[in-house]
Structure formats: structure tokens, C-alpha cells
Amino acid sequence: MAEFDPAREGTDGGELYLGRQPILDGSQQLLAYALLFRSGRQSAADVADPVQATATVVTNAFSELAVGDALGPYRGFINVDRDFLFSDTIERLPKDAVTLEILDTVRPDEAVVDRVRELRRRGFQLALDDVVGLDVDYDELLTLVDVVKVDVQPLSPEQIRAIVERVKPTGARLLAGQVDSQERMAFCRELGFDLFQGYYFARPAIVAGRPLDHSQLALLRLTALLLEDADTAALEKVFKEQPGLTVNLLRLTNSAACGVRTRITSLRHAITMLGRRQLQRWLQLLLFANPQGGGVTPLLQLAATRGRLMELLAEKLRGRAADLPDQAFMTGIMSLMPALLGQPIADLLAQLPVPPAMAQALAGGTGTERPGPLGRLLQLAEAGERGDTADIERLLPALSGINAGVLNATLASALAWANDIGREAGND
């Protein structure tokens, strides 16, 4: 097999970008990722279309980028076109880690139905992708697939109901794709959907005058104390006022992702062993953890992945300042605080003495121009989450030392790191 170079190889010989979108269950717990393999040489009109990556590119991405390992306990949903569906190399994919998502361009003729039946016998899970209508030709295929993903965005409520009524008797799970708001998610859940794809959970709902709860205030106070280089006694005092935070901190800092081999058993031990740099990042992540335990919040996964991705990318930048990686991690985490806390970023920045470069990078909204290296790294992370290859290619030339290959490899590493955090945060 030829060595896979993700910086050069794509469906048309162009650059290939790995993207992902979270898939949540009905209780809004992360269940899987929809993996996107997009070529940078597509026209702008084609960027939003489902990627039809070749079997070689996708399977090599799993082997060379270790995407299967990066997914951790979560499945990867992968688009397959007709050629990929019938390719022998599809069977090289780890069937326990992927769901094959048959594109809407694949007509369910007899050969397709037979191939799906064969792949099911081999242990693969299969799904129908971006369904907007189901005619009688889909009758047999519906009895064979595990998931039916409905593109709810262009459909009326009546059209969505008709698809739900058609799918429910087959036993296939319903996945709502292109969910862009909590309201749309609630509507789909009432109809019988139990899977949801998109970043709707990360859209901030700003409520004027909304107070922060005690644990959130304590975490912001602790973060501010660290930024001001306060002594350990001052940190301990705040922690002791919130015993639940101490438990959560010990749980997260004992994670394998922390890099500390000695088991941490006390608050003072945690502060001493971790040091200020590590303690600061765990405090930021604790904001996103489920305070009651029993599950990993999707915002925790997204925040951990975005922060780590930006940190790793910052380390690759040529001519960077020594403190840029640490600031990049914090910028990634803080960029999601409005969604978590329901307050504008300007109000949150007023409570934290962050460096001016960070404040400038965070001041803009998603998709807007952000100044400086931190701003460009944040834009790059956001563009990757959207699968916006045009924006990625626009940003890369200004980030010396980062190309498509570096972006893909660091994303795989960031996902693996975030999964370690998630597993530890979800333990009792």
C-alpha cells in the first residue's frame, strides 16, 4: 500500500480535510461522530455537499491517521457512494467502529440491496444518508439499515412526519440531520427521533441578567486567581467552599490525559503535582463537565477538542511566541463559554484578566474575522467543525507551518485527548 499523505491526497488529487460533527442521543449525550473527508479542490458550490471520498482515502485515513483510535468509544459515520459500497476495500474498515452511511445518490436497486445484506452479515452497521423522501423502492432497504438520517432543514413538519411514519415500523433508528437549534431538536424528538446531528447545543442562548450558579462563579474566580498568579492558599480557600468542585477536579486530573502517573488523592496534592498551567486548563474544562456526573456533556467534548486542537496547532506555528500554545488552549475553551453560561463573551471577559491578544481573538463572533495568530487559529478550528473547506484554505497560508496534513493529524490527536477527558469525567 502506498503511504498516505493527507496533505496531498484527495478524491481529485487535491488536499483532503478531515472533519467531524457530533451525533447525540435523546438525552444529549455524545454517541458518535459523522466523519467528513472533503477535498480542498471542490468548487465553493460543492463544499456543502456530502463528500464522496474514495475507498482508498477513507481506509488509509483510518490506518495512517489512526482515526479509529481517535474516536475512542464513539462510532464514526462515514459517507459511502455506490463505488465505495461495492469496493472490496470497504471491508478493511473496523466494523465495530464505523457505520456506513449510504448517500442519497445511491438508488436502492437489487444489487445495492444484496450488497447491504452481505455487509450486514459481515457485521457492519448501515444507515441511509440525508433522506428527504422515501418511495416504494426503499421498502426492502429500510428493513436492512440500522439508522435513517433525515435532512430536516429543507422539510416541512408534515414532510418530516410522513418520513417518521414510514420508518418507524421498520425498527430503524431515526437521526435528525442539519439540526440548527434546540427548538428543532425538541420538535424532532417529539416526533420519535432519538439521534441528532449538528452543533445546535453549542449555539449560545444569551439571557440578559442571567446569574451564574455558585460552582460556575467559583470556577471563574479560581481562573482569575490563576491568571493573577495568586498563592496556593487562596486557591484552596475557594475550592473548600465548593466540595463538589474538588471531587470533579480530582476525577479529571486523575485522567490518563493529564500525564501525571501518581494517583492524586487530595486538593493540595493536585495543585502541587499539576502546577499552575495544568490546573488552569482543568479548571476551564470543569466548567463544561456535568456537575451531577453520570454522563459526558457534548460541550465538554467540543471544548476539550477545540482547546487541544488549537494548542497543538500553535505548537506547529513557525516563529511563534513561547506562551502561544497555552493561550491557544485557553482561547479555544473560552470561545464556548457563552454557549455554556448564557452570557455574552464581553461580559465574561470583564470578569477575567486575560491577555489582550486573547480578548481580541474572542471578541468576534463565529465566522467573523478575528485578529492575530490566536484569532486565525480559532477561525480555523471553527471552520473545521463546520466542514468549510473554502475558509480552511483561505486561512492556512497565513499560518506558517500548518497544512492539511498537520490539521488532520492534530485533529485526530485532539479527539483522542478529549475522549480520555470524557471517559474520566463520565465516571462516578
8 φ, ψ (degrees, to nearest 5): -120, -25
Q: Look at the block and give the residue holding cell 487541544.
A: 308
Spatial contact of 16 and 75, defined as CB atoms under 8 Å apart: no
Angle at the Cα of 62 from the Cα atoms of 58 and 68, rounded to 5 degrees: 130
Calculate mean pLDDT across residues 32-58: 58
This prediction has a pTM of 0.83
Residue 150 CA from chain centroid, whole number: 20
Q: Give bridge partners of residue 176 from the DSSP assignment.
A: 150, 196
pLDDT for 101: 94
Number of C-beta neighbours around residue 109 at 10 A: 11
Cell of 220: 471563574
Q: How far is 361 from 389, CA to CA, in rounded Å? A: 21
Q: How far is 235 from 218, CA to CA, in rounded Å? A: 10
Question: What mean pLDDT value characterizes the chain?
Answer: 82
Calculate mean pLDDT across residues 363-368: 65
pLDDT for 135: 87
Q: How far is 340 from 220, CA to CA, in rounded Å? A: 13
Spatial contact of 51 and 94, defined as CB atoms under 8 Å apart: no
- Range with the largest mean pLDDT of 24-33, 49-58, 157-166, 180-189: 157-166
Spatial contact of 317 and 402, defined as CB atoms under 8 Å apart: yes
Question: What digits encode the pLDDT tens for the residues 148-204?
Answer: 999 998 999 999 999 999 999 999 999 999 898 888 899 999 999 999 998 888 887
The H or E element spanning position 162 is helix 157-167
Nearest to 52 by CA among 26, 74, 86, 83: 83
Nearest to 147 by CA among 81, 92, 194: 194
Q: How far is 213 from 290, CA to CA, in rounded Å? A: 13
Q: Give bridge partners of residue 379 from the DSSP assignment.
A: none
Q: Which residue has the higher pLDDT, 116 or 279?
A: 116
Q: How far is 81 from 105, CA to CA, in rounded Å? A: 7
Question: What digits encode the pLDDT tens for the residues 96-132?
Answer: 989 999 999 999 999 999 999 999 999 999 999 999 8
pLDDT at 320 over 70: yes
Indicate the pLDDT class of residue 242, thresholds 50, 70 and 90: confident
Spatial contact of 218 and 241, defined as CB atoms under 8 Å apart: yes
pLDDT for 226: 85
Q: Give bridge partners of residue 38 from the DSSP assignment.
A: 17
Q: How far is CA 27 from CA 31, 78, 162, 229, in A?
A: 10, 23, 24, 39
- Taking the CA atoms of residue 225, residue 231, residue 232 and residue 236 in that order, the dihedral angle to the nearest 10 degrees is -50
Q: Which residue has the higher pLDDT, 363 or 65?
A: 363
pLDDT for 414: 93
3-state SS class at 37: strand
Question: What digits encode the pLDDT tens for the residues 59-101?
Answer: 667 776 778 778 888 899 998 888 889 988 788 888 998 999 9
pLDDT at 11 over 50: no
pLDDT for 102: 95
Calculate mean pLDDT across residues 25-50: 67
Biggest alpha carbon–alpha carbon distance for the chain? 72
Q: Give bridge partners of residue 100 from the DSSP assignment.
A: 78, 126
Q: Which residue has the higher pLDDT, 257 or 410?
A: 410
Calculate mean pLDDT across residues 215-237: 84
Q: Which residue has the higher pLDDT, 270 or 8?
A: 270
Spatial contact of 363 and 336, defined as CB atoms under 8 Å apart: no
Q: How far is 273 from 267, CA to CA, in rounded Å? A: 10
pLDDT for 306: 95
Q: How far is 120 from 362, CA to CA, in rounded Å? A: 47
Region at 100 (left for phi over 0; alpha for psi -120 to 50; beta for the rest): beta
**Domains, the chain, with CATH or none:** 16-202 (3.20.20.450), 204-428 (1.10.3210.10)
Cell of 21: 460533527
Q: Look at the block and give the residue holding cell 459523522.
A: 34
pLDDT for 47: 35
pLDDT for 292: 57
For the chain, the residue count is 428
pLDDT for 52: 43
